[in-house]
Amino acid sequence: MKLSTLLFQFFQNGLVLLLAPLLLGWVNQCRAWLQNRSGAGLLQPYRMLFKLFHKDAVLADNASVLFRSTPYILFSCMWLAASLVPMVATDLPLSAAVDVIALVGILALARVFIALAAMDIGTAFGSLGARREMLVSFLAEPALLMVFFTAASISASTSLVTIVETIAHRGFFIYPSLAFAGIAFLMVLLAENARIPVDNPSTHLELTMIHEAMILEYSARHLALIEWASSLKLLVYMSIGFALFLPFGITEAGNWAALPLSLAALFAKLAVAGFGLALLETLSAKQRVFRVPEYLGTAFLLAVLAILIHYLLGA
Amino acid sequence: MAVIEHLPIAQQLLNLFAALLLLIAFAMLSQRRILSLINLFALQGFILTLSIADSAWLTHQNHLYYSAALTLLIKVIILPWLLHRLIRQLNIEWDVETLINIPTTMLIGIVLVVFAFNLALPISELSGTILRHTLGIATASVLLSFMMMITRRKAVPQVIGFLAMENGLFFAATSATYGMPMVVELGIALDVLVGMFIFGIFFFQIRETFDSLEIRHMEKLKED
């Protein structure tokens, strides 16, 4: 392994850590603008993390080791996932070891731990949130896998690096299958990141909450890690979306001169996608929890159609 | 499986249109409101028009332009207009139909699509047209419209299912054989139009007799 690729891996690891709260801040700021509020500013998530890291943690009496270790597990899973997805360049030493199926596995591992930790204290809200989270994710995961399989059968590889290189190299070509998979992926992204048609990220007081219900018992540094992990998760999903559907502008292996340009491309893509997410959340209303299986069933249907169309039309 | 790497843009567009037709067939299967069902039907006709015009341009078959124009006139303008007028007169514009379990219907739909794709593979090997890969999609949309007719309980959505099935057949004909002879196409178009008028009269008769457009009222032969 060359030193330059190793250095680049460290660069991406640092970049995602710093970039994730900024992305969350940008999405919240766009939402505020669209709702005619002035908003808290782009740096609010950083201030929030700073505040939480300087507080004293409060734990319930019956909290076990699981409860205390889950924030660290969650954070490391998301950090690992974020450093695997090619965002700026395809030259990632870690990415060679892990393909898209393992990536789904890493995300599932994080989910299992947060659900277990939510039930650990034994509060009503915790187990309610955990059950709903498992309901959403067990329906969203097959759809996500099908989206990955579509992209994998187009490029004949399950490695994200190869998928990016294949699709980016072909130039302009209409893939009906990728269009279907893209819509399915967007629906999964909204569901998995606790966004509006499925869950409302800005509420703590409703009986409809999913993600917030699971982390109600956490405070201080534990909460900070969980918040940071969920902003990393949003970044992971967005960059998977870019890697599969908009891989243009990602630097090829060894071509270091193009790096500033691809960084600019990444920032532009994230800015547009963040605004799009805020717009989508402002325009749509939250669904009833019982409608969620129908919503995710549609996502699964679209993803399966994508793979079928790929095999029929070859595109 | 076809390996399509450097196709002309027209054929790529044709594949896209075929995929969109399949998507609309699924959307119709899961749609609860009659009004949106009619709009989807008009959209299906419009995409059919685009795909026929596209294949005419691709294959230099000039008579396909006439079919495209005919499709645009009848299936995008006249039939949706007739249907809109009909549901306004019957006063069922905002009717919502309760469907049996949408996810299950969707899953059965996927099975149908797999079946249709397998069915179409040997046929498309025989056909020499460059559009043969879309035959599977055409078959799938025929079967999906058929299933829509089976699962609906009210008369108007069943008729829309019937019309959508005709759209699928038309697409199949274009993709397998570059369209039927002009006389046949004109005949079918007129048949559909006349059929729609007759259905319209039937709807009023059914409602006069049964006070509702639900098909299950007609299953009994005697009043009890």
**pLDDT > 70: percent of chain B:** 88
Of the candidates A170, A176, A305, the beta carbon closest to that of B15 is on A176
pLDDT digits (tens, 9 = 90+) for A156-173: 888 888 888 777 777 667
So what's the pLDDT on residue A232? Answer: 92
Helices (H), chain A: 3-34, 44-53, 65-84, 100-120, 124-155, 160-169, 176-192, 211-214, 220-245, 259-283, 292-313
Q: What is the DSSP string of B166-179?
A: HHHHHHHHHHHHS-
Chain B residues lying within 8 Å of A305, measured CB to CB: 19, 22-23, 26, 110, 113
Domain around A52: 3-313
pLDDT digits (tens, 9 = 90+) for A30-83: 989 988 888 888 888 899 899 998 988 888 888 889 988 999 999 999 999 988
- What rounded mean pLDDT belongs to chain B? 81
Q: How many domains does chain A have?
A: 1
Low-confidence stretches of chain B (pLDDT < 50) are 1-4
* B76, B49 contact by CB (below 8 A): yes
- Please check whether residue B2 lies inside any domain of the structure: no
The yes-or-no verdict on residue A174 having pLDDT over 50 is yes
A3 C-beta neighbours (distance < 10 Å), count: 7
So what's the pLDDT on residue A112? Answer: 92
What residue of A is the nearest CA neighbor of B115? A308
So what's the pLDDT on residue A1? Answer: 57
* A83, A236 contact by CB (below 8 A): no
So what's the pLDDT on residue A50? Answer: 92
Cα–Cα distance between B132 and B126 in angstroms, integer? 9
- Please check whether residue B224 lies inside any domain of the structure: no
- Please check whether residue B3 lies inside any domain of the structure: no
Chain A residues lying within 8 Å of B23, measured CB to CB: 180, 302, 305
Chain A residues lying within 8 Å of B15, measured CB to CB: 174, 176, 313, 315
Cα–Cα distance between B118 and B115 in angstroms, integer? 5
**pLDDT > 70: percent of chain A:** 94
Chain B residues lying within 8 Å of A302, measured CB to CB: 23
A313 and B133: CB-CB below 8 Å? yes
Chain A residues lying within 8 Å of B131, measured CB to CB: none
- The pTM for the full model equals 0.84
Select the more confidently predicted residue: A286 or A81. Answer: A81
Q: Which of residues 12-31 of B touch A (CB under 8 A)?
A: 12-13, 15-16, 18-20, 22-23, 26, 30
Torsion sign, CA atoms A186, A190, A191, A192: positive
Nearest to A92 by CA among A31, A4, A204: A4
Mean local confidence (pLDDT), A100-129: 89
Residue A240 exposed, middle or buried by CB count within 10 Å (0-12, 13-18, 19+)? buried
Q: How many domains does chain B have?
A: 1
Cα–Cα distance between A70 and A276 in angstroms, integer? 32
- Please check whether residue B195 lies inside any domain of the structure: yes
Domain around B97: 9-219
B23 and A313: CB-CB below 8 Å? no
So what's the pLDDT on residue B36? Answer: 86
A174 and B12: CB-CB below 8 Å? yes
- Length of chain A counted residue by residue: 315
- Please check whether residue B1 lies inside any domain of the structure: no
